Every structure is written in C-alpha cells, then in structure tokens.
Structure 1
C-alpha cells in the first residue's frame, strides 16, 4: 500500500488540474437509472422576503421560479432552503424528493427538455448542466424569447460544486447560507482527510456503473473524495471523467478495495448477498480479502453540499469497512 500525506488544511485537487483550478456526472442512478443529502423541507415552505424579485415589462414584481433539470442541483437548492422556489424538476428527481415536492411537474432531463411543460410552469430561471459548446440553439432561443435566466452549472469537481452552489445561492437570495454550507462541507472533508492522512492508502476502484462497466477516473469529485477518505484511486489510470473498462482491465488494476455503485438499490444484506458474487469471484486482492462493498445510497454519487457523507462512508469502507453497512 502507499501512503500520501497532505497538510491538514489541504484537500487534494482533482488529478490533472491545478489546485486553484476548477460537470456533474450524475452517477449510475441519475445517468443510467434516475439518480447521481437531502434536506427535508416542510410542505408549503416559501422563501423569505429576501428572495430576488423579477420585474416584468408591466412593472409587476414576481418571485424567482426555478425549473431544474439537474438532480444534484435540485438537491443543492433544497439544501439552501429554496424548495419553495421550485416549479419543475427532472424526470430523475421524484424518488429523491420529499413527499410534498414529488408532484412537481417534470420538465425533462439533461438529454431532453419538455418545452411545452416549461412554458406551462413559467420559470424565471432554468438550471441545466451542459458543456457550453453543446448548448442547443433551440434552448438558447427559447430562454431568450421567454425571458428565462439560464443557469448552467458545472459539478464535475469539488471546486465546481462550490462555485455552482454560490451561484445558486445568489439566484435564490441564499448567498450567506450557501457560504456557510460550503464552509461546513470543506471543514468536514478536511476533518475526514486528517483522520486518514497518515494511514496506508490502498488501491481503490469505484465502479459507478456495472452495465456497462464504468469507473471513477481522475478530475472528478468522486476521485477527490476517494483521496480525502485515504484511498488511492487507481481508476485514474484509465483517464479523466468516468471511463469505460473491461473486466480484464479491472483485474489488471489489482484493486485492494472494490466499491460497486448501485445507487437507490437496497443495502447489502451481508457477505452472501448475491449481488456480490460475481465481484468476489474476480482474481483481485479486494475479492480475495473480502473487501468488495456495495454503495447503495441514492445520493452517494451526487455532487451536493453534503458530499462529506459519501467521503465518510468511503473512508469507513476503505479502512475497516463493514460489508453489512454500505448504504451511504
């Protein structure tokens, strides 16, 4: 095993990026099954008078109305106390929302936006996550024609998460709360990092999808969280983002810890859980030492202001995990 020591105030930057450098990969759940820490907001919760107001041409003042097509951004908005500003969510959001919000109109997802529904819910802000060069002209024209502010978040790394949270805080009049929550998340991650900094850093592979096989690569927030939790993400050898791989490549990586992302599925029932069987049969140290874990938390692969919960879970699994308790 290798050991990497960082100053206690330092959080590893995304590999391949400068420390000061800086989108969301939504994870298997959102990208492939409808996912990728939820603050429960009481029904009927509305924003305070500090909510930014929009002036219509007629001089009528309207509160912010947000349609969000990014599940992680929806979670951030809830964490900022902006549930009352939401008027539409993505098709992947429903199972992650508190009951009072599950009836919100679905405005599509990152692949397809329902413009008719968007017109019906009359948002003043539309949150998306797209590479700027890939923004459809139809979307640009739509928001301009309907006087909708387009907020294009980036959530690939922790730095981008914090910047996007600040932007959403500004949109919702929650600037101070966003700053406090970002500082809290950073402090919690720093504490987790200090806890494991001087321990051996085993080789870790985190599969965020099993069909097809996809691993956590470098320059991602999950890569950073593995480092915070005292692991050596050998998936970074495959490249940036969330690269595809074969079982042969997985074997060649020789992981000592193998994390299987199954967000939204039931937690592992124990070593005999049938979902573990194919992974425990692999000729890798993780299987031989029974250090293969299912990570089933619905938000475990989402870049939100509670990413420290995923870091804490990964730390527990890497450094003496309990195969029976791997939900997150």
Structure 2
C-alpha cells in the first residue's frame, strides 16, 4: 500500500517502478489525456503546467500549455514548464522514458486497461497532488455507478448477452480484442465483445471475420475524425457486412471514443451508455444513471 508520511510517498506506478516522492506536487506535466482528466476530476487543474495536444476535456484543458503529442514529446517545452512531476503513459516506456527522466524531476507511468487500474491511477494522482480525499470520493462515486449497472445486468444469462463488434478504427476496421479497455467495459455493461475471438489487444479482422462473428450490435467510435460521425456512417453503409444481425435489425450506434477508449474517469459513463444500448428494456427513461445520446 502507498502511504504518505511526513510529506514522503513511496509509490509503485503502473509500470511496476517504485520510487520515493516528496508530495504534494504543484507543477505537473501530463502526457496522456486520461491523466489530465483525472487531475481535473480531483480539482487539481491549477497544478497542470503542460498537457498534450489531445487533452481536450474538460474544455479548460484545451487552454493549458501544449508540450506534447502522444507518442512524441517536446523535451524543451517540458523543461520550460519547470515541472516537479511528469505523468507519462506506457507508450513512453520505450525510448522516451530515459529522456524524460533526464529533465530532472520524477516521472510516473500510469496506464489502465481495467476499471481497477483506472481507480488505482486516480489514487496515485490523488496522493501526488494532495487530493487523497477527493480521490476517495471519486472512487466511491464510480463504484456506486458501476454497482447500479452490474445489479441490473446480473439478471441476464450469459447465453442471452448481445454479441458486440466495435469499429475502433474505420479506415482499417481495427477492433477491441481481449485485454483492452473496450473488452472490459463491454463485459461490465453485459455484452460479449466478439473482437476477443480475433485475438488480444487490437486485431484487424476482415469483413469475412466480422460477418462470421454475426454481431447483434455494432458500436462505431465517433468524435475523433475530421468528420466525427464518419465511423458511424461507414458502419451503417458498408455493403460487405450487410448480412449481419446488427445491420438487419438496425442496431448500429455511435459512441464517443472518449468514453470507451480513454482510460479516465469517464469510463463509467461509457459503461452506462453501453448498458443503455445493450438493454434499452432494462435501462429505460426512469433509470437513475446519466445517459448520453448515441452518435
């Protein structure tokens, strides 16, 4: 367990790296949108002195100084921000981590592929910025909302769960395989992710693969292209998958990529939205969770 004692924190980050930190940290550079969202969710946004080009939520994050792409970083801009903590991601482990460490401040790596890992990331950032209580409160809220969904879908037998295909990348038809955030969220929301049958992480199924999997539902990730609705339009019109149950029944929906691909606090909103789409007869207008329109 990580414990703060006399402003000293022994931390094990999500790359398994253990270190001593003096806390709280007041000048943070976040190199992942998910970490930026966590900092905001904890009310520590005034501690952010650098973010990535992709840190777009909440709206105020777009006004923070940009020091990075995602896989690429501007080391000079990071140095100029004079951070006392850099929050990196797994993508930075190969090649960039040693460069970041030479800047002269601690670097922690946070990477979540499950709800529990996301909650751990919230705890770690909370400890680092002196927002332990806010982190605990956010965890309680997330777990309460998850419990609501789980209690509803628990009544559904495994054989009755809808088979779901995700159009994660419309140009290649890359999808969520096993060991991904999307696979985790689908399971919690009461669906079966057919992408796990194609392999781990992010496989590239062919149209034939998709047709053979015969999904009941197709979820197209929206919001990240020049035309944010393009993936949904492609999923609805691609002739090669016209014979699938999803196309035959019209159960093709758009869900914001931020909710199902970004491992931050809004993952719970993604689960709620998926559950609503999977089981409209259960999660109707009287449901107490926050629904988000598809598309």
TM range, smaller chain: 0.7 to 0.9
**1:242-281 superposed matches below 5 A:** 242-264=202-224, 276-278=236-238
Partner of 1:155: 112
1:67–1:89 Cα contact (<8 Å) kept: yes
1:68–1:86 Cα contact (<8 Å) kept: yes
For 2:153 and 2:236, the matched residues in 1 are separated by 26
1:255-288 CA-to-partner distances (Å, cap 9, x unmatched) read 01111112346887xx9x6762227952111111
For 2:236 and 2:277, the matched residues in 1 are separated by 15
Please point out which of 198, 201, 207 is paired with 1:238.
198
- Is 2:59 the counterpart of 1:98? yes
For 1:188 and 1:279, the matched residues in 2 are separated by 38
The answer for unaligned runs of 5 or more in structure 1 is: 1-21, 24-50, 54-62
Please point out which of 84, 98, 102 is paired with 1:140.
98
Partner of 1:71: 33
**3-state DSSP of counterpart to 1:107:** strand
2:163–2:217 Cα contact (<8 Å) kept: yes
**1:30-109 superposed matches below 5 A:** 52-53=23-24, 64-93=26-55, 95-99=56-60, 101-109=61-69
2:186–2:193 Cα contact (<8 Å) kept: yes
TM-score by length of 2: 0.79
2:54–2:70 Cα contact (<8 Å) kept: no
**3-state DSSP of counterpart to 2:203:** coil
For 1:208 and 1:286, the matched residues in 2 are separated by 16
**3-state DSSP of counterpart to 2:68:** coil
1:10-60 CA-to-partner distances (Å, cap 9, x unmatched) read xxxxxxxxxxxx99xxxxxxxxxxxxxxxxxxxxxxxxxxx935xxxxxxx
- Is 2:135 the counterpart of 1:178? yes
**3-state DSSP of counterpart to 1:102:** helix
1:86-140 CA-to-partner distances (Å, cap 9, x unmatched) read 00000111x33424x42322111331110110111111111111268x432x642
Q: How many residues align?
A: 262
CA gap 1:211/1:254 in 2 versus in 1, 3 angstroms = same
For 1:122 and 1:213, the matched residues in 2 are separated by 41
Higher relative helix content: 2
Partner of 2:175: 215
The answer for unaligned runs of 5 or more in structure 2 is: 1-13, 16-21, 285-291
1:198-218 CA-to-partner distances (Å, cap 9, x unmatched) read 233111112221112111111
**3-state DSSP of counterpart to 2:169:** strand
**3-state DSSP of counterpart to 1:294:** strand
1:293 Cα deviation from its structure 2 partner: 0.9
1:73 Cα deviation from its structure 2 partner: 0.9
Q: Choose between structure 1 and 2 for higher RCO, CA contacts under 8 A separated by at least 6 residues.
A: 1
1:179 Cα deviation from its structure 2 partner: 1.9
For 1:260 and 1:274, the matched residues in 2 are separated by 9
Please point out which of 103, 108, 122 is paired with 1:165.
122
- Is 2:293 the counterpart of 1:325? yes
